[in-house]
Amino acid sequence: MSAPRYARVDDAFVTALEAEIGAECVSRAPEALERHARDESDGLYFPPELVVQPRATEQVQALLRLCSERRVPVTPAGGRTGLSGGALCVHGGVALSLARMDRIVEIDERNFFCVVEAGVVTERLQEAVEARGLFYPPDPASRGSCTIGGNIAENAGGPRAVKYGVTADWVRGLACVLADGTLLRTGGKLRKDVTGYDLTHLIVGSEGTLAVVTRAWLRLTTRPTAFRTALVPFASAEAAVALVPAIAHAGLDPAAIEFMERAALEAACAQLGVRVGHDEAQAYLLIELDGTDEARLDREIERLGELCLERGALDVWLALEPGRRRELWALRRAMGEAVKRLSAYREEDTVVPRARLAEALAAVGRITARHGVRAITYGHAGDGNIHVNVLQGELDPERWATVSRTVSREIFEAIVALGGTITGEHGVGCVQKDNLPIALSRASLALQRRLKTAFDPGWILNPGKLFDPE
């Protein structure tokens, strides 16, 4: 297909939109445009021409009808905490903020479900359901500011994904608006549903390119009340990640198995002003068990400790006090920001079968050494998801621009050769779209483009993400 010729946002468009949804929902204020020009991706800046903040699904429908008629691009935005540029208006147009649609509509304790609007902050939902003895497990690093709508768009994961899965595993229904303003409702409070194609999970992870999610039906479970947390140092990264499949073979089911190389932990310690570490350690695993049976957890943590030492751990440090557990998790959650403060960087969100983690880390080491750059790695070893932060260091900007692209491509090629892929939770957005052919076949790419056109014939929804229109 040929590239759409998008219309600009002019006075006539703004006047028509204000008449449909109210002037209070529409802003051209410089501070609003500036606020929506960035997310957490490094170095990206794409200001919208207009920011729209509706309070109801009907207003979203009216906006999309008008944008579809006039070929104005629309980019849905949540908390703008993404790392792939997914919420940035790369073609200008409208930034559609769902921040005002932030109601927790229902917490259904009998059916273990909740119904929430897209703008609800993830941590706020977790706290609300936990107050009733329930649990919503997905826990992206930015859970204090990211939103359920954004989590759904990116199929967000987090440390607990090894046991509880990612966002898609908890979404059972959606209310969403298609590009022409049509309201689509899928699923609901159902544990099983094979009625037709699974549109719910087609939309989850589609990065706002197929529809705008305004409400979600989310599955809940029982809140864990007991935790056992251990920080385990190893003499090498390979020894650390080799433990991961052994944990599963031992019949243990941790809520989290987080990998941190020494430099990552040291950066987080420096940022938070604490000291944690082992003089001989080059890598660490942060492992947590959870549940409701204290005695069972005591047995499991004892078995885990024995297994770690059998597999070469230098020590096993248990967080016996709640404050110590919070400190360890604060270090892990600070790690991304701490590493990024060291230098300009490119972060690659790699995923491999977890039994091949050691091979993946070795490949990263060979590639970065060959090009004379440094990488710091950490991530969710329990599900094979390692974040590779390639640092600019002393390279001049021109050399860095060339080397960073080459290093990223070679890392992705090595990861895919190991049976992995190029992103596990950060999404494709505009950052990784050129690398899609490394991971996906021509047939897959062609089919996905046809799906995009079927949902959004004018390609007005979040253009420039996943695929370019041309």
CATH code for the domain of 391:
3.30.70.2740
What is the helix (H) or strand (E) element at residue 268, kind and residue range?
helix 262-272
Q: Which amino acid is at 272?
A: L
* pTM of the full structure: 0.95
Q: Are both 145 and 210 inside the same structural domain?
A: yes
Q: Are both 234 and 149 inside the same structural domain?
A: no
Do the domain assignments include residue 469?
A: no
For residue 2, pLDDT beyond 60: no
Q: Are both 207 and 260 inside the same structural domain?
A: no
Those residues whose C-beta lies under 8 Å from the C-beta of residue 430, and which sit 6 or more positions away, are: 44, 84, 85, 86, 88, 90, 464, 465
CB 354 within 8 A of CB 419: no
Q: Are both 113 and 183 inside the same structural domain?
A: yes
Q: Are both 246 and 333 inside the same structural domain?
A: yes
The secondary structure of residue 168, as a DSSP letter, is: G
Q: How far is the CA of 248 from the CAs of 162, 168, 296, in angstroms?
A: 10, 23, 17
CB 6 within 8 A of CB 93: yes
Please report the pLDDT score of residue 1 as a whole number.
44
Do the domain assignments include residue 322?
A: yes
Instruction: Write the pLDDT tens digit of every residue in 305-330.
Output: 999 999 999 999 999 899 999 999 99
DSSP labels for 98-161? -TT---EEEEETTTTEEEEETT-BHHHHHHHHHTTTEE-----TTTTT-BHHHHHHHT---TTH
CB 247 within 8 A of CB 381: no
CATH code for the domain of 212:
3.30.465.10
Cα–Cα distance measured from residue 420 to residue 440, given in angstroms and rounded to the nearest whole number:
11
Last residue of a domain, one of 338, 359, 383: 338
Neighbours of 58 (CB within 10 A): 15
What is the helix (H) or strand (E) element at residue 216, kind and residue range?
strand 212-219
Do the domain assignments include residue 173?
A: yes
Q: Are both 264 and 287 inside the same structural domain?
A: yes
End-to-end Cα spacing for the chain: 6
Last residue of a domain, one of 192, 222, 252: 222
Q: Are both 330 and 348 inside the same structural domain?
A: no
- Provide the number of structural domains found in the chain: 3
Q: How confident is residue 4, by pLDDT bands cut at 50, 70 and 90?
A: low
Do the domain assignments include residue 94?
A: no
Q: Are both 245 and 278 inside the same structural domain?
A: yes
Q: Are both 293 and 378 inside the same structural domain?
A: no
CATH code for the domain of 264:
3.30.70.2190
Do the domain assignments include residue 95?
A: no
Give the residue-averaged pLDDT of 386-410: 95
What is the helix (H) or strand (E) element at residue 227, kind and residue range?
strand 226-234
For residue 211, pLDDT beyond 50: yes
CB 425 within 8 A of CB 385: yes
Q: Are both 230 and 333 inside the same structural domain?
A: yes
Give the residue-averaged pLDDT of 433-437: 96
Expressed as residue numbers, the domain containing 172 is 104-222
